[in-house]
Amino acid sequence: MEITSYHELEPFTTKDGSTIRELMHTPSQSLAEAVVAPGQATERHYHVRSEELYAFVDGGGELEVDGEVRRVAAGDTVRIPSGAWHTLTGGPEGARFLCCCAPPYAHDDTFFA
């Protein structure tokens, strides 16, 4: 059994500008907690290999996926297919969400315009 402790994990900033703590990273998937501050937007990007699931825990904001813009809030889960352009702007309370990537997140799989 492999267990990680949240309080021992150091947050870092990804290439798109969100702050994450990677909770678990295996050869087939990764799970992270991501935070986007109020009014902050991630840089619009896509991943060639990874499909992502965003499960919003606190706050919310505006999420754009391949030109479709939707409000998201705590309790919402969104699938972002591999190859889909996307960006998230934090709402008044910011956004905190769990992000599952399969295959796992990699900096070299993040592409910008």
As a whole number of angstroms, the distance between CA 45 and CA 101 comes to 15
Q: How large is the average pLDDT for residues 22-27?
A: 97
Token code pair at residue 31? 């799970």
Residue 1 inside a domain? The answer is: no
Element (H, E) at 103: none
Cβ atoms of residues 108 and 31 within 8 Å? no
Residue 60 inside a domain? The answer is: yes
Interval 31-68: pLDDT, tens:
999 999 999 999 999 999 999 999 999 999 999 999 99
Q: Which residues contact 100 (CB under 8 A, 6 or more apart)?
A: 29, 30, 31, 52, 53, 55
Residue 63 inside a domain? The answer is: yes
What percent of the chain lies above the pLDDT cut of 70? 100
Residue 13 inside a domain? The answer is: yes
Domain count for the chain, please give it.
1
Does the pTM surpass 0.75? The reply is: yes
pLDDT score at 47 = 97
Give the domain range for residue 11: 6-112
pLDDT score at 20 = 96
Q: Residue 39 sits in a domain of what CATH number?
A: 2.60.120.10
pLDDT score at 71 = 98
Helix/strand/coil for 14:
coil
Does residue 113 have a pLDDT over 90?
no
How many CB atoms neighbour CB 2 within 10 A? 5
